[in-house]
Amino acid sequence: MMNKVLVRTISGICFVLIMLAGLLLNKYLFAALVAFITAGMIVEVFKISKDKSDRLLWPLLIICYGLVLLVLGFIHGEFSGILLLSFFIMIWSSDVGAFCIGSLLGQKAGSRKLAPKISPHKSWAGFWGGLAFTIATSLILHYTGLLSIPLVHCIVLAVIVHCAGVCGDLLESKLKRKCGVKDSGNLIPGHGGLLDRFDSSMVAIPAGTLYLIIFNLL
C-alpha cells in the first residue's frame, strides 16, 4: 500500500510539473502538450470502447476540449496560461475537497451517495466539500490577482467549474462502467490514463469558458 501511495504521489507531482511547464513557459510546449493530451484521450477511447457511438461522440467532445484549451492559452493572439492555470487549480481543489470531505463523512453508514449506479463511492458530502474548496480557491485566486474578474463572477465561475467537473467525472465513470474497465489507460502510474485525469476539466473548462464569454469577461 505504501509503495502504491508513493508511486501515485511521485507520478502526480511529475504530472503537475509538466502541466505547469506547458502552461507557463513556452507556447510551443503548451501547443504540443494540448495536442498530446487530445490525441492520447482519443486513443484511450478507441482502446476501451467497442461501441461505435462512443467512438464518434467522445472524440468530438475531446477535440472541442482541446480547441478550448488552445483558445484560452492564446487569448487575443498572445500566449498566456494564467487563466487556464486558474481553471485547473479550481478543478484540482474540487477534487481534493471532494476526496477529503467525502472520505471523512461520505463513507459512513447511511450517508447519501451522489450517483450510486455510476460511481458508488461518490457522496453528497464529497460534492459539498468539493464545492466549498472550489469557492475558497476562487477567492484566493481573485485576491492574489491570478483570476482578474469581479468577485461575484469568481464565485459563480467556481460553482460552474465544480458542478460541471462532477458531471464530467460521472460521464467518464459511466463510459468505463459500460466498457467494463477500471481505468482508461495506464500512462500515469497510480492514476490511470489521460481520460481519467482530464475527465472533470473536459466539461468544466468549456462550461466556465462559455460563462466568461456570455458575460464578456474573456
Which residue carries 466539461 as its cell?
A: 203
Instruction: Find the DSSP H helices in 25-150.
Output: 27-48, 52-73, 82-101, 124-143
Residues 6+ apart with CB under 8 A from 40: 185, 187, 193, 194
In the chain, pLDDT over 70 holds for what percent of residues?
A: 95
Residue 42 is which amino acid?
I
E strand or H helix that includes residue 206: helix 194-214
Q: List, for residues 88-101, the tens digit of each pLDDT value.
A: 999 999 999 998 89
Please count the other Cβ atoms lying within 10 Å of the Cβ belonging to residue 186: 12
Cα distance between residue 58 and residue 203, in whole Å: 12
Q: List, for residues 19-51, the tens digit of each pLDDT value.
A: 899 998 899 999 999 999 999 999 999 999 888
E strand or H helix that includes residue 121: strand 119-123
Confidence of residue 2 (pLDDT cuts 50, 70, 90): very low
Q: List, for residues 92-139, the tens digit of each pLDDT value.
A: 999 999 988 988 886 776 678 888 888 888 899 999 999 999 999 999
